[in-house]
Amino acid sequence: MADALLGPAEIRELAARLGVAPTKRLGQNFVHDPNTVRRIVATAALEPDDVVIEVGPGLGSLTLGLVAAAAHVHAVEIDAKLAAALPSTVQSDRLTVHSADALGVTAADLRPAPTRLVANLPYNVAVPVVLHLLGALPTLRGGLVMVQKEVADRLVAASGSKVYGVPSVKLAWYARARPAGRVPAAVFWPVPNVESGLVAFTRRPPPADVAREAVFAVVDAAFAQRRKTLRAALAGWAGSPDRAGEVVRAAGIDPRARGESLSVEQFAAIAAAANSVGVRR
């Protein structure tokens, strides 16, 4: 793998040859440090039979490391020029390139079915992509993503934390997540203004037998006005403050509590309680 990876000179030469200039609109920051690629692949702990989905492969730095460690790699690239060039850079029968928006990917698009998500995700769509793929691809057992450090902190935050919020709860619905290290800005071209963080996650069964959409509706309502008590924040969702208080009490939770203090299981309990007291959402 060492000989195949791209360094700073190779990245710039490849970009120049393709006429590619990284754009903020697509969140393009290309990894040009082989040791970082080795670290990501090692931390992902792929099994020989794993099928990886990589979102935003760009010029192919990480893709080269992944095809050497996995049974197959689905590289999903929204930039048509980069998608067209990737098979020339990563010449492997283990690679399938999809010129597509990851937010529109479905299970039917990916054969063989992916088991792991490993990606340097564009900062501007990181959370929607992770949540969409976990919802759309039931075969995903887990993964490792590199995101903006601030986003990484939110994804792994526990209830009660200042950065705990919608991304924290929704990822917890699908998986157990943990921080897996920091990545300095200097390993990217162009150099971003922020550090990156690695987030590892492992799929788990849903924490409650309640429809995901119903739980997520409660989560969205609770954090839309995060400084308010649940009685006030869920008033629109339930129909009135009194109705919201009734539902929250039926779930065994103090209506004076705030959303940031609740676990995903407690949000699920509120969604389930809504049915028992006649609130239909």
CA-CA distance, 204 to 81, in Å (whole number)? 37
Query: 75 or 188, which is more confident?
Result: 75
Asked if the structure places residue 238 within a domain, the reply is: yes
Pick the closest to residue 167 from 57, 260, 64 (CA basis).
Answer: 260
Give the residue numbers spanning the domain of 238.
212-276
- Taking the complete model, does pTM exceed 0.85, yes or no? yes
Stretch 138-147: mean pLDDT: 97
| C-alpha to C-alpha distance for 208 and 263, rounded to whole angstroms | 12
Residue 264: pLDDT above 90?
A: yes
Do 218 and 194 sit in the same domain of this protein?
Answer: no
Share of the chain above pLDDT 90, in %: 81
Q: How many CB atoms lie within 10 A of CB 225?
A: 15
Check residue 47 and give left, alpha or beta (phi > 0: left; psi -120 to 50: alpha): beta
What's the CATH code of the domain at 226?
Answer: 1.10.8.100
Instruction: Clarify whether residues 155 and 186 are in a common domain.
Output: yes
Mean pLDDT of the 120-149 span = 95
Q: Pick from 169, 185, 203: which residue ends a domain?
A: 203
Which residues, in sequence order, are CB contacts of 41 under 8 Å at separation 6+?
A: 1, 62, 65, 66, 68, 69, 118
